[in-house]
Structure 1
């Protein structure tokens, strides 16, 4: 069993997330491949497909009893193929690297955890080994959400790429829509109109100040501070009309200790102040998708077990982006993130360092054995 050969097979399967790219191939084909592979290696396989055409699979090798269970989690969907430099589905090896869409994010992690699970269970362990190959992480994480409705474990490792560094925290995010209300009128009748776009300028200035205040506030020891930015803006209908509305979509990135409600309260405080101080200012705030930040307990047994199997002092890191670790943690499963080295996630050229792929497989194999047995 060779993780390099398995990775090449995985790269060659188109698994573009159709929520990102309309018409994308989705996870059906790659889930079928993984199902056959796991069954051939003695795992029982459970297919979860609440969203038709968007399957996740959970492969289980049951233990003999009395040991702890461990879940390995990784996503089998990728971002799009357009704009890739070369053939994104034809894996190529050059200078110790394998290139192809998903090589780094994150089919390298998938290959490593599949091989590690098979190697570690060649002889029976006391605890169950659970391998979750999930759909839709690149968009809405519906795959891991569905898996956690049916499966749990005593601990988990997410094999997102981390450059072989131990990732114990990452940021969350909350999306908001702010709709500034004006009054439509012909441009020749200023006494009748209220310019929603001009009023929105007051909010944007206050939003910029909130960003400065956050940057100067308390810092998380790994992640720094939360951030906020305006992402989208729209308003108006034609040059000769006062705009009745102006809609601003914004993103608030959060660090551990910050909640969606706290971020909503920040924005409501700003809007209430503007309503009280700016003539004719009115606005509606709507909270959208929210994902919690994540922070692992560095003394958790799974963290200590993995670090012990590194054989060298670990580099502890945190990520500014969100991962499925937060969902596992919220479900009461202690976890961490540990994956391959490489680069080019979502880029025109993507690759995994093959030595790191081998090393990840070794560390995962030893960690599974040590934790479950």
Structure 2
């Protein structure tokens, strides 16, 4: 099966992440398909499904012994189908591009790594080849987290779309909730009330200043600087009442060297300063989900092997978004990101460049054969 044929089949399977879209189909159907596909080609297919209806498939072709193991990792879930221009589950080929939900993000990468693994293991290799088709990357990455509890490798490649450019770093993020306190009172009794929403304005101004300070501060050579922004705000009950609280959700995007603890400390410092200088200001900071930034060693063997298989001077890049590379790296698996060209991730129209799909498959095939030989 060619990568193009396989991609068309994968796109036709609804795998919308139900954590993003209530009632979404989830990964069960696409996991069943991938497991059968691998089994028909001599791989042992392991199904991991700690969360019912949210399976990941890990296909393994054992080596003859004495070689290095390589994991190929990609997510099979997609964002929602609503608002897509056309039928999102009907792959359409026009002018060398295939359109459909997930073609770019990231079933193109899934198809390439599946076909490459099958081709590269046509002859025995000394090292194990592990292909992880994981659930839930678009929301919480529970799939890769579950995989890493049972499987490891000497190196890994994540086939998220990268425009055939070698991606060696990406940002992390930390989410926070800030609860700003006030005092409820009738709107006619200002001497009794404390307006939590107005007090929140002081925090938002300070948050904007933090963003400016970050933007003009030290830069990572590939990623630039960290960022911060307010995402959600809510407060108050009715027009005639002073609001007793105001809640702000914010996101801090991080670069290597910026830990969740460091970002929490910088926000707490803002709150401490405001409590000391603004009358009746009080706030509580709560840290939520945190994902670490990622930075690969450019001299790692897997990076050098993939660049050699590429056969030309690579374009080295970084991504502003987070990927499962960070989880693999934290588990001690040297990795990088390398995937297809195209456009439209999460957009109303999405496509993959089919020449890049073929090129990715060839590069992955050569990388597997060389690394696991």
How far apart are the structure 2 equivalents of 1:148 and 1:270? 37
What's the CA shift string for 1:122-148, capped at 9, x where partnerless? 011000000000000000000000000
The Cα shift of 1:246 comes to 0.4
1:227-238 → structure 2 map (5 Å cutoff): 227-238=227-238
Alignment partner, residue 258 of structure 1: 258
The Cα shift of 1:317 comes to 0.3
SS of 1:148's equivalent? helix
How far apart are the structure 1 equivalents of 2:188 and 2:13? 60
How far apart are the structure 1 equivalents of 2:179 and 2:90? 46
How far apart are the structure 2 equivalents of 1:23 and 1:246? 31
Alignment partner, residue 221 of structure 1: 221
How far apart are the structure 1 equivalents of 2:25 and 2:269? 45
Alignment partner, residue 157 of structure 1: 157
1:197-212 → structure 2 map (5 Å cutoff): 197-212=197-212
How far apart are the structure 1 equivalents of 2:13 and 2:72? 21
SS of 1:225's equivalent? coil
Alignment partner, residue 45 of structure 2: 45
TM-score normalised per structure 2: 1.00
Alignment partner, residue 291 of structure 1: 291
1:182-193 → structure 2 map (5 Å cutoff): 182-193=182-193
* Segments of 4+ moved more than 4 angstroms: none
SS of 2:363's equivalent? helix
How far apart are the structure 2 equivalents of 1:200 and 1:142? 34
The Cα shift of 1:338 comes to 0.1
Alignment partner, residue 181 of structure 2: 181
The Cα shift of 1:112 comes to 0.2
What's the CA shift string for 1:163-204, capped at 9, x where partnerless? 000000000000000000000000111111111011111000
How far apart are the structure 2 equivalents of 1:39 and 1:127? 19
The Cα shift of 1:75 comes to 0.2
Q: Which runs of 5+ in 2 are unaligned?
A: none
SS of 2:268's equivalent? helix
Alignment partner, residue 311 of structure 2: 311
TM-score normalised per structure 1: 1.00
1:164-175 → structure 2 map (5 Å cutoff): 164-175=164-175
Alignment partner, residue 98 of structure 1: 98
How far apart are the structure 2 equivalents of 1:135 and 1:179? 33
Alignment partner, residue 120 of structure 1: 120
Alignment partner, residue 108 of structure 1: 108
The Cα shift of 1:45 comes to 0.6
How far apart are the structure 1 equivalents of 2:18 and 2:98? 25
Alignment partner, residue 62 of structure 1: 62
How far apart are the structure 1 equivalents of 2:309 and 2:247? 51
Alignment partner, residue 132 of structure 2: 132
How far apart are the structure 1 equivalents of 2:350 and 2:211? 33
SS of 2:371's equivalent? helix
How far apart are the structure 1 equivalents of 2:311 and 2:180? 57
The Cα shift of 1:267 comes to 0.4
Q: Does 1:31 align with 2:31?
A: yes
How far apart are the structure 2 equivalents of 1:86 and 1:242? 48
How far apart are the structure 2 equivalents of 1:201 and 1:25? 41
The Cα shift of 1:293 comes to 0.2
